[in-house]
Amino acid sequence: MSKAKNLNLLLLIGFFVIFLILRSVYYTEHLNFSADQGVDAQKVLSLYREHKIPLIGPFTSLQYNGRLLFQGPAYYYLLFVFLYIGKFDPIISSYLFTIFCGLMIFPLFYGLKMLTNKKVAYLMVITYAFFPYYVEYTRFHWNTTYLLSLLPLLVLFMGLYKKYKSKWLFLLISSMLGFLLQFHYQFILIIFGFFIYYFYFVRVKLYYVFLFILGLLIGFSPLILFEFRNQFYNIQTIILYINHRNQLQSGGNLFTTPHYYLSISFMGLIIFYSLIAKYLPSGKNFKILLTVLALIFISASALINFHKPEHSFWSYSTHWNYPDEYKVYTIIKSQHLKNYNVANMTYYDVTSDVIKFLLKRDGVNINYTDYYHNKYLFIIAAHYYNYMSDPAYEVNTFKPSKVLKVWKINSTYNLYLRERL
């Protein structure tokens, strides 16, 4: 291996180490393993124990009269890998995903080096590894964070295709595009961009259109099979959404959900860096530019992350994080009760899915969905809040009842054990 290649490898290893350091400080306090992750982890655990392979994944945030649009199962497949290797521990499995994201530095660099040049490769690696936006979103399980983590592999395939011009590599690229579309339907915009890039700018052979479509179908095949088995449910849902587009309900919007921009910004930055590459300085001046840019990004990320947060990332409540969830779980298990349920008033959805995942993981056998016949109810609520007057049926229907025990979880929240009278 040449001296230059050795230097590249050493630099990438150094970037990987800093990548992990930026994300590891107060990792459990920052960790977003909350309601959505709890629901998805329960689903994956159930599929694993029932030996089922799903053809659909989570549903989108768009709804109309309870009608749902499902995404692909690829997120469940990958989530299972990290959960299984991590023994279904939220912290271990999440950190394994973070390590995986860090390792993607290597295919990102070598792919871009083949696809563009070394300058673009270093700029993009530094941005991906150190920019605060990407630091925040490479620490937890989520379909769009998984999508971001896999884009470097797509870039590597693109670089290999440019180098070897193999139709099998082109089929691999289009299959990867179809696979990534399973994670989020916004990715269709990027697929459209790839079509323009290869058929207008690169001008690949016309019959590659067939390979492009074939690859998309291969990568998207689980959902296609689901459609054939279920009277084209998703297609009918899309038509319904279009016909009632002014009446759609959504769990978020483009301005309050930055994860919508992860993959688009990533590919956009590659395009931007490629366009400005010819204007960048060379030699020592370029090294100075990279050093300054890296220091700015690292400093910004350190300012955000190198202090103990009051709540987990993306938390709906202050003073609540995964360690608090785990503390409640250990208390509930220690009571050795039967015929109980759990309500967490720190969430918009009070069904306490993180704690239920931990209990299900340990084989605790209760009726997790029944809030009408349970004898006991554990309630997480702020110490100043009159939780029994909350409109949520999980607590509102638990009347008459009395408090048996109270545990202080942190400075804001208590755990209450109530018994139905």
Q: How many folded domains does the chain comprise?
A: 2
Q: In what order do the strands lie in the sheet with 340-344?
A: 340-344, 376-382, 413-420, 401-408
Better pLDDT: 213 or 246: 213
Residue 48 belongs to some domain of the structure? yes
Give yes or no: residues 221 and 271 share one domain: yes
Give yes or no: residues 282 and 333 share one domain: no
Give yes or no: residues 126 and 256 share one domain: yes
In the prediction, which pLDDT does 260 show? Answer: 85
In the prediction, which pLDDT does 348 show? Answer: 77
Last residue of a domain, one of 244, 273, 305: 305
Average pLDDT over residues 211-226: 98
Residue 96 belongs to some domain of the structure? yes
pLDDT 10s digits, 234-275: 999 999 999 888 877 766 555 557 888 999 999 999 999 999
Last residue of a domain, one of 276, 305, 334: 305
Q: To 10 degrees, what angle do helices 3-24 and 118-130 make?
A: 20
Residue 106 belongs to some domain of the structure? yes
Residue 314 belongs to some domain of the structure? no
Q: Give yes or no for residue 398 having a pLDDT over 90.
A: yes
Rounded CA separation 172/19 (Å): 29
* Full-model pTM: 0.94
Give yes or no: residues 267 and 371 share one domain: no
Which one-letter DSSP state was computed for residue 310? Answer: S
φ, ψ of residue 55 to 5 degrees: the values are: -105, -10
Percent of the chain at pLDDT above 90?
88
Average pLDDT over residues 67-87: 97
Residue 310 belongs to some domain of the structure? no
Give yes or no: residues 88 and 138 share one domain: yes
Give yes or no: residues 229 and 348 share one domain: no
Percent of the chain at pLDDT above 70?
98
Give yes or no: residues 110 and 146 share one domain: yes
Distances (CA, A) of 259 to 136, 230, 377, 402: 10, 30, 35, 43
In the prediction, which pLDDT does 289 show? Answer: 96
In the prediction, which pLDDT does 82 show? Answer: 98
Of the listed ranges 111-125, 205-219, 316-330, the one predicted with least confidence: 316-330
Q: How confident is the model at residue 158 (pLDDT cuts 50, 70, 90)?
A: very high
Last residue of a domain, one of 305, 332, 352: 305
Give yes or no: residues 242 and 356 share one domain: no
Give yes or no: residues 328 and 280 share one domain: no
pLDDT 10s digits, 102-115: 999 999 999 999 99
In the prediction, which pLDDT does 258 show? Answer: 82
Average pLDDT over residues 15-29: 97
In the prediction, which pLDDT does 256 show? Answer: 58
144-161: buried (b, 16+ CB within 10 Å) or exposed (e) per residue?
A: bbbbbbbbbbbbbbbbbb
Residue 382 belongs to some domain of the structure? yes
Give yes or no: residues 207 and 332 share one domain: no
In the prediction, which pLDDT does 63 show? Answer: 85
Domain that holds residue 381: 322-420
Residue 176 belongs to some domain of the structure? yes
Residue 332 belongs to some domain of the structure? yes
Do 35 and 349 contact (CB within 8 A), yes or no? yes
Q: How confident is the model at residue 332 (pLDDT cuts 50, 70, 90)?
A: very high
Which amino acid belongs to residue 126?
I
Do 341 and 366 contact (CB within 8 A), yes or no? yes
Give yes or no: residues 139 and 42 share one domain: yes
User: Tokens for 250?
Assistant: 């959504």
User: Tokens for 124?
Assistant: 């993009």
Give yes or no: residues 299 and 354 share one domain: no
